[in-house]
């Protein structure tokens, strides 16, 4: 029986109460679960429980804390696989050795206290600060950033405590073992993926940068360019008609960029055809929007997509090629696109897609954006993309004809 994650809000509420939660990352990343709690709420009992995880006892903090306490990187050149940013370990000056649960709790609380300075600590110590990136999990999908995000969302000082969870054999606890532990200890358990999706949908991340009229062969659109907080991506919306004030539900296409298909008319995929068909369908309707998201190769980037093409030339399908490169079958995230649609004033849409799972992935109904219809968009196949389309149908659930 599959186990269910807690809601992000349940985890945030637990953090606010000073409780410990379990946070897991992606199975194709570290595949690891960590105990996480708020630094300012830490007690000796909390530390003792967190240490039962058997991993490294660490304290994720923001750059301002490191600057205040004058702590720097533990090494000059970080060659760790995921670039975990270990800083100089500290003990509070009041500690005897710094190793006890009470002494670590005192050190943690003092580090989180904005009134302390470098002279309040000795170094090296037993609490390892981890430097979290500003922007949290939207910048880096690690436990360090997740801990700071959860504590910040709980309204507490943005500093956390974490410890990796090992099983009795000393290996990383499996996903099943983590769920069993959460149930036994009555702990909330969430994934970093959940936290990313929650933040993308609940925080305003997009800002209009510029817009102008754009006449095309499909009709007259308005092009709107956006910036995204914490990220360097530039999503674009092509809008036709007054999508905000209309009795007709607009057609909407959420289109991920495909350099080879959209610009070079590659026959290996159906992306370029879908792009132009969508614009044509919106043009014929006279009202709608196309959101163009920079998510090349289902989110793996152009370079990795071309590597995947080479693997497909060797006999793998598109899903197998992604897995061989260490990626999941689809790395895309539509939270930014949903925020663009909300910024455009849309509340109901007819979604141009062949993927019935996309509506669920969007979580649209939970955020006052309702998909009232899924409209198919079916370009003709050719001998180069027939296997690609069959894989999308058979392995990814797309509603495509069975040739």
List the domains of the chain with CATH numbers. Answer: 8-200 (3.90.870.10), 205-295+332-396 (3.40.50.10990)
Beta bridge partners of 224: 211, 237
Would the CA dihedral through 104, 49, 19, 177 be positive or negative? positive
What does the pLDDT average to over 215-224?
Answer: 97
Per-residue pLDDT, 197: 85
pLDDT at 154 over 60: yes
What does the pLDDT average to over 332-352?
Answer: 89
Average pLDDT over the chain reads 90
pLDDT higher for 79 or 64? 64
The candidate with the shortest Cα–Cα distance to 174, out of 166, 164, 184, 186, is 166
Annotated catalytic residue 330? yes
- Predicted confidence band of residue 201 (pLDDT cuts 50, 70, 90): confident
Counting DSSP H helices and E strands in the chain, the numbers are 14, 14
What does the pLDDT average to over 198-215?
Answer: 91
Per-residue pLDDT, 355: 79
68, 332, 333, 343: which one is catalytic? Answer: 332
3-state secondary structure (DSSP) of residue 335: helix
91, 268, 330, 350: which one is catalytic? Answer: 330
- Predicted confidence band of residue 356 (pLDDT cuts 50, 70, 90): confident
Per-residue pLDDT, 366: 44
Structure tokens at 364: 């649209």
Per-residue pLDDT, 296: 93
Q: Which residue's entry shows tokens 């929007």?
A: 289
- pLDDT, one tens digit per residue, over 4-58 is 999 999 999 999 999 999 999 876 556 789 999 999 999 999 999 999 999 999 9
């Amino acid at each position: 029986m599959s186990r269910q994650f807690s809601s992000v809000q349940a985890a945030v509420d637990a953090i606010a109460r000073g409780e410990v939660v379990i946070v897991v990352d992606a199975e194709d990343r570290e595949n690891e679960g960590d105990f996480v709690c708020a630094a300012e709420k830490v007690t000796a009992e909390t530390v003792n429980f967190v240490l039962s995880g058997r991993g490294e006892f660490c304290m994720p903090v923001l750059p301002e804390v490191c600057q205040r306490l004058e702590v720097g990187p533990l090494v000059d050149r970080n060659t760790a696989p995921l670039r975990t940013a270990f800083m100089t370990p500290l003990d509070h000056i009041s500690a005897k050795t710094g190793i006890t649960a009470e002494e670590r709790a005192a050190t943690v609380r003092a580090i989180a206290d904005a009134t302390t300075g470098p002279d309040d600590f000795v170094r090296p110590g037993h609490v390892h600060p981890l430097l979290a990136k500003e922007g949290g999990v939207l910048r880096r999908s690690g436990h360090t950033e997740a801990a700071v995000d959860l504590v910040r969302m709980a309204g507490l000082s943005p500093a956390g405590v974490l410890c990796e969870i090992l099983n009795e054999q000393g290996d990383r606890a499996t996903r099943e073992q983590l769920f069993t532990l959460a149930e036994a200890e009555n702990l909330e358990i969430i994934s970093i993926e959940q936290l990313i999706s929650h933040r993308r949908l609940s925080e305003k991340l997009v800002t209009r940068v510029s817009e102008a009229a754009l006449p095309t062969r499909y009709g007259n659109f308005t092009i709107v360019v956006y910036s995204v907080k914490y990220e360097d991506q530039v999503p674009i919306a092509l809008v036709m008609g007054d999508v905000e004030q209309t009795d007709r539900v607009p057609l909407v296409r959420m289109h991920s960029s495909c350099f080879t298909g959209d610009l070079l008319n590659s026959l290996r995929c159906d992306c370029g055809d879908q792009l132009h068909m969508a614009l044509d369908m919106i043009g014929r309707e006279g009202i709608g929007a196309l959101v163009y998201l920079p998510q090349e190769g289902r989110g793996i980037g152009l370079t990795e997509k071309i590597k995947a093409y080479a693997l497909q030339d060797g006999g793998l399908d598109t899903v197998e090629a992604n897995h061989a490169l260490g990626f999941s079958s689809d790395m895309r995230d539509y939270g930014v696109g949903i925020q663009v649609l909300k910024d455009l004033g849309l509340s109901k849409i007819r979604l141009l897609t062949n993927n019935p799972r996309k509506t669920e992935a969007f979580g649209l109904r939970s955020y006052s954006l309702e998909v009232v219809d899924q409209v198919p968009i079916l370009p003709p196949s050719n001998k180069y993309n027939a296997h690609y389309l069959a894989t999308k149908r058979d392995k990814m659930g797309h509603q495509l004809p069975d040739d």
